[in-house]
């Protein structure tokens, strides 16, 4: 039994009002894998990098009990590189550079040792690649969570709709939910998206928290109000990784466990934005995570 994360492992160069970085390690699978590793110790990664990717970064994954047998290293090629600049409000950003490099023809090969996958996190990648991973698993995982973004809605909507049908949980942000459904009201948007296939929909609202929709049930999770958001990069991936990592830990898929999983995912995401890149979420203790989760409890509990 294991948890499989697919997504990018890559380089980012980030500029925020607080500073800028040179190339640092990022990517959806990096953030999601690290986040999941705080709750579950059989995390496997499928991703692709070039031979410019530092061996010590791979060792870092392994130090977090993340299995990298499925991390393809392409000799003579370069890792995916993204560069972006955040605006003052930290809610919008401009993409400065996107160099696909190894990602251009990524073929997600699943090592045989990963075939015991029960929990599958499809990090943001082309819906084609996401779908290929589902098809290459001999047994359908107990829980498939899929993250995606507006980019794929723009250029690969048919593939996206086909892949969405195959998953249990879809995570997108509020603007993406509106784009995908054509509805402004998030309740109406959620109803339309749930009719597309997934049994659960998580709408991420950044500093406003997240909403979980399932049948007629809605759960509203708060975001932790922070004095400083240093770098939002990877917060959504960290959220998703924490979410599925917690689900794998508890082992039973139901609405109540998902509510808690959203709180644990949100707690990790709240750490993520406090430093550049993975700096903060690489070095957390279980006590720090538990204390942050208690802050969420304090923040949103009332007794009526």
Q: How far is the CB of 219 from its own copies (least distance, A)?
A: 7
User: What's the rounded Cα separation, in Å, for the pair 103 and 274?
Assistant: 28
Nearer to its own copies, 110 or 244 (CB): 244
| Closer by beta carbon to its own copies, 25 or else 211 | 211
Based on CB atoms, which residue is closest to its own copies, 97 or 226?
A: 226
Shortest Cβ 15–its own copies spacing (Å): 17
Of 4, 19, 147, 23, nearest in space to 97 by CA: 23
Q: How far is the CB of 210 from its own copies (least distance, A)?
A: 11
Strands 66-74 and 169-173: unpaired
For its own copies, give the closer residue by CB, 62 or 295.
295
The HSE-up count of residue 281 (CA atoms within 13 Å, CB side) is 36
Rounded to a whole number of angstroms, the minimum distance from the CB of residue 298 to its own copies is: 8
Alpha-carbon distance of 175 to 179, in angstroms, equals 6
Whole-number minimum distance, CB 97 to its own copies, in Å? 27
Min dist. Cβ of residue 297 to its own copies (A): 6
- Kindly compute the dihedral angle of the four CA atoms of residues 60, 25, 99, 231, in this order, to the nearest 10 degrees: 150
If the CB atoms of residues 59 and 226 are measured against its own copies, the closer one turns out to be 226
Q: Report residue 14: phi and psi, to 5°.
A: -125, 135
| Complex with its own copies: residue 229 or 269, whichever CB lies closer | 229
Shortest Cβ distance from residue 268 to its own copies (Å)?
14
Strands 93-99 and 117-122 turn out to be unpaired
What is the binding site for its own copies (CB under 8 A)?
88-89, 184-188, 190-191, 205, 207-209, 211, 217-223, 225-229, 256, 259-260, 263, 293, 296-304
Q: Look-up: residue for tokens 């509990």?
A: 301
Instruction: Give 196 or 250: the residue with its C-beta nearer to its own copies.
Output: 250
């Amino acid at each position: 039994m294991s948890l499989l994360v697919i997504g990018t492992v890559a380089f980012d160069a980030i500029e925020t009002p607080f500073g800028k970085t040179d190339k640092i390690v990022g990517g959806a699978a990096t953030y999601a894998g690290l986040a999941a590793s705080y709750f579950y110790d059989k995390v496997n990664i499928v991703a692709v990098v070039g031979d410019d990717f530092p061996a010590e970064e791979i060792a870092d994954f392994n130090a977090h009990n993340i299995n990298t047998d499925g991390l393809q290293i392409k000799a003579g090629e370069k890792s995916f590189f993204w560069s972006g600049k955040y605006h003052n409000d930290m809610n919008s950003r401009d993409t400065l550079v996107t160099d696909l490099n190894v990602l251009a023809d990524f073929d997600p090969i699943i090592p045989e040792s990963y075939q015991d996958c029960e929990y599958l996190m499809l990090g943001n990648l082309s819906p084609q690649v996401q779908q290929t991973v589902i098809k290459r698993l001999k047994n359908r995982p107990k829980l498939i969570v899929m993250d995606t973004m507006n980019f794929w809605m723009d250029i690969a909507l048919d593939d996206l709709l086909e892949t969405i049908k195959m998953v249990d949980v879809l995570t997108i942000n509020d603007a993406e939910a509106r784009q995908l459904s054509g509805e402004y009201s998030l309740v109406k948007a959620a109803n339309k998206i749930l009719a597309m296939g997934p049994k659960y929909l998580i709408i991420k609202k950044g500093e406003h928290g997240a909403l979980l929709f399932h049948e007629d049930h809605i759960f509203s999770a708060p975001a932790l109000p922070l004095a400083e958001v240093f770098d939002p990069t990877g917060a959504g991936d960290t959220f998703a990784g924490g979410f599925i990592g917690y689900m794998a830990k508890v082992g039973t898929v139901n609405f109540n466990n998902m509510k808690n999983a959203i709180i644990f995912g949100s707690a990790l995401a709240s750490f993520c934005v406090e430093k550049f890149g993975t700096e903060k979420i690489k070095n957390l203790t279980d006590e720090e995570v538990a204390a942050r989760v208690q802050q969420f409890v304090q923040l949103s509990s009332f007794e009526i």
